[in-house]
């Protein structure tokens, strides 16, 4: 029976112990900072990113995973005898899916063994899809079955998050439907969601603490009546708020799995420091 390997990109930011346990390959997104080209999570980690951004005279930009990087990962896995399932950031947020498809087309052999799925998401909302597929593989699923699990998981995952400012999303061109909140009262904290692969506004809340309260309420509403509930934080240089959020949400929803994690530097560059959110998978 053929073996199956799972590939994702660095914006999932799945904790290292889990990517190691399930042998998940991670293709790094790219951060461009002046003359430097940095691989997300390889050449730069979140702590260094936020320290640098405080004093940066030139702000970084981002670029999708290179075709060559994905091709090399695919080739390596194929040579080891694996079928490959790649689950990547929403095509409405990044060109990564396109890079993966071009990488597959560039393969000399084994193209038919590489399957690519648009997560329609990012951060741990995508991470839960990746983990669902990887856990299925660990239980003996083949690549087709693992893809079916990931597709089902895609319909059972989501994310809500509160940002300190819309400036970063606006500057990076990832603001989606939240564009209409630009220019609203500066002291209002937007609560946003990923809807059909795009950033969309949910509400504007007067304070950060109330915005975080609302994030918990929204996830509780989305997961009500579904079991198990799996939760993960996402935060951009706001670990204390994120840890408190996860503890409260875990108790409120009796979560079967709770993962404390942050966002990659590339996502942090778009969301902006201070962002705190909650990703979920419910019913599987």
Tokens (6 digits) for 148: 């079916």
57 DSSP β-pair partners: none
User: Domain 157-282 classified CATH 1.10.110.30?
Assistant: no
85 DSSP β-pair partners: 6, 115
**Cβ contacts of residue 39 below 8 Å, gap of 6+?**
10, 28, 29, 30, 31
Whole-angstrom distance, CA of residue 160 vs CA of residue 87: 20
Tokens (6 digits) for 42: 């390889």
pLDDT at 175: 47
Tokens (6 digits) for 279: 């990703």
Distances (CA, A) of 158 to 55, 71, 137, 144, 192: 34, 29, 22, 23, 11
Domain ranges of the chain: 3-29+64-154, 157-282
Whole-angstrom distance, CA of residue 35 vs CA of residue 12: 26
Distances (CA, A) of 6 to 9, 139, 158, 167: 10, 14, 20, 34
Tokens (6 digits) for 114: 């590489």
pLDDT at 270: 87
pLDDT at 168: 66
- Judge if the upstream peptide bond of residue 151 is cis by omega within 30 degrees of 0: no
pLDDT at 169: 61
Question: How many beta carbons lie within 10 A of that of residue 219, not counting itself?
Answer: 26
Whole-angstrom distance, CA of residue 102 vs CA of residue 260: 34
CATH class of residue range 3-29+64-154: alpha beta
Low-confidence ranges of the chain (pLDDT < 50): 174-175, 177-178, 183, 185
Continuous H helices in the chain: 16-21, 46-55, 67-79, 96-105, 123-138, 143-154, 167-172, 208-223, 239-253, 265-271
């Amino acid at each position: 029976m053929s073996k199956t390997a799972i590939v994702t990109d660095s914006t999932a930011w799945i904790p290292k112990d889990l990517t190691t346990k399930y042998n998940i390959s991670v293709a790094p997104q790219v951060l461009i900072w002046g003359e430097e080209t940095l691989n997300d999570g390889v050449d730069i980690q979140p702590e260094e990113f936020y320290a640098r951004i405080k004093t940066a005279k030139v702000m970084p930009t981002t670029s999708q995973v290179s075709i060559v990087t994905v091709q090399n990962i695919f080739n390596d896995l194929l040579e080891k005898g694996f079928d490959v399932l790649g689950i990547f950031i929403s095509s409405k947020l990044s060109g990564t899916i396109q890079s993966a498809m071009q990488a597959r087309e560039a393969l000399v052999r084994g193209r038919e063994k590489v399957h690519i799925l648009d997560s329609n998401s990012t951060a741990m909302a995508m991470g839960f899809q990746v983990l669902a597929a990887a856990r299925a593989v660990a239980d003996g699923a083949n690549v087709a079955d693992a893809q079916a699990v990931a597709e089902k998981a895609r319909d059972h995952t989501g994310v809500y998050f509160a940002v300190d400012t819309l400036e970063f999303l606006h500057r990076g061109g990832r603001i989606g439907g939240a564009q209409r909140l630009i220019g609203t009262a500066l002291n209002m904290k937007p609560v946003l969601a990923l809807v059909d692969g795009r950033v969309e506004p949910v509400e504007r809340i007067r304070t950060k603490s109330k915005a975080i309260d609302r994030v918990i309420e929204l996830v509780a509403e989305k997961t009500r009546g579904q079991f198990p509930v799996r939760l993960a934080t996402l935060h951009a240089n706001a670990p204390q708020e994120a840890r408190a959020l996860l503890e409260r949400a875990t108790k409120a929803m009796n979560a079967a799995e709770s993962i404390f994690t942050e966002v990659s530097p590339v996502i942090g560059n778009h969301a902006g420091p201070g962002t705190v959110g909650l990703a979920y998978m419910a019913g599987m």
